[in-house]
Amino acid sequence: AKRDGGGVARRFDPVLFAAAEQRRVAEADLMRGLEAGEFEVHYQPIVDLTNGGMTVGVEALVRWRHPKKGLVPPALFLELAEQLGQVPRLGGWVLEEACRQAMDWQVQFPGFELNVNLSASQLGNPKLIDEVREVLVRTGLPPQDLVLELTESVALTDLVESARVLSALKELGVRIALDDFGTGFSSLSHLSTLPVDVVKIDRSFVQAMPETGGASVAEAVMHIARTFNLSPVAEGVEDAGQAERLKELACGRAQGYHFARPMPALGVTELLDKQSAE
Ligand code: C2E
Ligand code: CA
Ligand code: CA
Ligand code: CA
């Protein structure tokens, strides 16, 4: 170990060094991937439970098509992208790409809905409102068919500012959904403050629904949604029993592996072709 003037031992720590090195490599790789346009949008169908489970829209979900690692899920790169300040740029690309794609589906299914996730840094970006307006103009997507999803934690960091930005977005005609609803702390008190149209019931509540009888958080959340005139969408529906329960609870919309996994755009096109042939 070397000693500096203060007599403090400063040894070379191979573990720390490796971690820092790994991070530098990951950062450079992500920046390279962004430059090279290695990102894709996949789409998960959203179905109408009151109408035989027909696909009425999709949620856009970003993926990284890595040349060596294959398809990388957002959990493995969004946080780093956020730290590198790249999420507004990546998110802007996702929005435009998804709106363009949704226009294709709208030819066959007018009113086909597109949900797009917004991160905190996008919501905090003063250019967001102009960006959304311009994307709608460029792609021609009817604003009422675009739903912007944000998590409670995002919406609640600065409530006054969030309410202002969301109101401005709503003036464009788009709708707002609160994602992972119920997992945050003070969700209830803020439902009346934020201009929200849709609540997405977090998958943890859907998974916890009892097989038969019994009250559930999912049910309570649906009551709350209706009280505030919000449309509930159940997330993470993984089996027929859950779908059946949700239908009984008159939950209009649902999403989950039971219906379909996120898929490339072509998969949705094929699904809609099949659906229109039925
Ligand atoms: P989220 O918005 O809550 O999206 C739903 C996640 O649940 C997706 O994971 C989806 O693949 C997964 N999922 C859907 N159905 C089921 C199911 O039945 N069971 C289980 N266990 N999981 C299901 P994914 O695609 O890995 O995305 C993870 C998160 O990354 C998203 O959670 C969202 O917060 C974020 N994200 C994804 N795409 C974007 C984006 O374009 N922009 C931003 N800002 N965030 C994004
Ligand atoms: Ca979402
Ligand atoms: Ca969610
Ligand atoms: Ca989530």
Residue 185 reports pLDDT greater than 70: no
Residue 228 to residue 192: CA distance in whole angstroms: 7
Residue 193 burial (10 A CB sphere; 0-12, 13-18, 19+): middle
Q: Where do the DSSP E strands lie in the chain?
A: 2-3, 9-10, 39-48, 54-66, 70-72, 113-117, 146-151, 175-181, 198-201, 231-234, 253-254
In Å, how far are 119, 123, 126, 183, 276 from 151, measured between CA atoms? 8, 11, 19, 9, 33
Residue 16 reports pLDDT greater than 90: no
Which tens digits make up the pLDDT trace of 36-79? 999 999 999 999 999 889 999 999 999 999 999 999 999 999 99
State residue 155's pLDDT score.
Answer: 67
Residue 188 reports pLDDT greater than 90: no
Residue 240 to residue 211: CA distance in whole angstroms: 11
Residue 273 burial (10 A CB sphere; 0-12, 13-18, 19+): exposed
State residue 161's pLDDT score.
Answer: 84
Residue 246 to residue 225: CA distance in whole angstroms: 14
Residue 207 reports pLDDT greater than 70: yes
CA-based angle 12:31:14, to the nearest 5?
10
In the structure, what pLDDT confidence band is assigned to residue 9 with cuts at 50, 70 and 90?
Answer: low
Residue nearest to atom 23 of ligand 1 (CA): 236
The more confident residue out of 225 and 259 is: 259
Q: Which atom of ligand 1 is nearest to the CA of 122?
A: 44
State whether residue 94 is helix, strand or coil.
helix
Interval between CA 244 and ligand 2 midpoint (Å): 22
Residue 200 reports pLDDT greater than 60: yes
State residue 1's pLDDT score.
Answer: 46
Q: Which atom of ligand 1 is nearest to the CA of 202?
A: 3
Stretch 101-122: mean pLDDT, rounded? 95
Residue 195 burial (10 A CB sphere; 0-12, 13-18, 19+): middle
The more confident residue out of 6 and 216 is: 216
Token pair, residue 259, equals 């219906």
Residue 262 to residue 242: CA distance in whole angstroms: 19
Residue 154 reports pLDDT greater than 80: no
Which protein residues touch ligand 1 with a CB less than 6 Å away? 44, 60-62, 73-75, 78, 91, 94, 117-119, 179-180, 203, 236-238, 255-257, 262
Residue 272 to residue 41: CA distance in whole angstroms: 18
State residue 177's pLDDT score.
Answer: 94
Residue 210 reports pLDDT greater than 70: yes
Which tens digits make up the pLDDT trace of 125-146? 889 999 999 999 999 999 999 9
- In a mutational test of the pocket of ligand 1, which residue from 40, 41, 61, 78 has the highest number of ligand atoms less than 8 Å from its CB? 61
State residue 153's pLDDT score.
Answer: 72
Q: Could you identify the residue written with the tokens 């977090």?
A: 202
Stretch 15-36: mean pLDDT, rounded? 94
Q: Could you identify the residue written with the tokens 């072709």?
A: 273
Stretch 176-196: mean pLDDT, rounded? 78
The more confident residue out of 278 and 208 is: 208
State residue 7's pLDDT score.
Answer: 57
Residue 169 to residue 97: CA distance in whole angstroms: 19
* Poorest-pLDDT segment among 96-100, 115-119, 227-231: 227-231
Residue nearest to atom 19 of ligand 1 (CA): 236
State whether residue 131 is helix, strand or coil.
helix
Q: Which atom of ligand 1 is nearest to the CA of 73?
A: 26
**Contacts within 8 Å (CB) and 24+ apart, 91-95:** 91/117, 91/118, 91/119, 91/122, 92/122, 92/131, 92/135, 93/39, 94/39, 94/41, 94/60, 94/62, 95/60, 95/131, 95/132, 95/135
Say what percent of the chain tops pLDDT 90: 68
* Strand-pair partners of 200: 233
- Name the average pLDDT for the chain: 91
Residue nearest to atom 15 of ligand 1 (CA): 256
